[in-house]
Amino acid sequence: MISAGDFRKGITIEIDGQVYTVVDFQHVKPGKGAAFVRTKIKNIVTGSTIEKTFSPTEKVPRARVETKEMQYLYNDGNLYYFMDTETYEQIPLNQNQVEDAIKFIKENMNVTIKFFKGEAFSVEPPFFVELEVTHTEPGFKGDTATGGTKPATLETGALVHVPLFINVGDVIRIDTRTGEYMERV
């Protein structure tokens, strides 16, 4: 059991037989009345997001989630195939299960996959990845009216904003948690 006052992003909880992950939370202490915790929670099976308010002392069961290091192999239409690096077992996941992570994952890259009762529900890429820029407009010296950045398309299809000196063919490091450019490699 975990009390609502201890909620953090990414914690998984069970409510009414359904498993949710905490997407966002806020501890609120109004001038009058008791404090409460306002949360945004996402159902890991259906993907629906709801907002729910808890008392800070309210306890909910914590869901046991298994994490595995797996290797991304390839995409076959709507399915993305991952391999367990220990057993060499392959599992296919659909677009809903890989969500935003696939933008930063290329073939043969290791990722962390979360499972609940044997069902995969989340794919997490490494915090930092190095990807090649496949398309970007040339930057002009002194062109800083746009804040010194320009859009660039990466080899995985992700679109990020990069400094003006980045060109096609450059390999850059991206923070996958924020989707921001870190440095040129």
**All domains in the chain, ordered by first residue:** 2-60 (2.30.30.30), 66-124 (2.40.50.140), 128-184 (2.40.50.140)
State the 10-residue block means of pLDDT for the chain, 185 residues long.
87 87 90 90 84 92 89 91 92 85 91 86 90 87 66 92 90 91 90
Which residue is listed with tokens 């202490």? Answer: 29
H/E run at residue 94: strand 90-94
Please give the pLDDT value at position 159.
93
pTM: 0.71
For residue 1, what are its two tokens? 């059991």
- 149 class by beta-carbon count within 10 Å (0-12 exposed, 13-18 middle, 19+ buried): middle
Which residue is listed with tokens 């800070």? Answer: 56
Please give the pLDDT value at position 140.
65
Please give the pLDDT value at position 89.
92
The CA distances from residue 112 to 3, 41, 85, 168, in Å, are 27, 21, 11, 30
| Cα–Cα distance for residue pair 61/101, rounded to 1 Å | 28
Phi and psi angles of residue 96, each rounded to the nearest 5 degrees, phi first: -65, -30
The CA distances from residue 88 to 66, 67, 105, 118, 129, in Å, are 18, 16, 19, 16, 24
- Residues paired with residue 154 on neighbouring β-strands, in sequence order: 133
| Cα–Cα distance for residue pair 143/139, rounded to 1 Å | 7
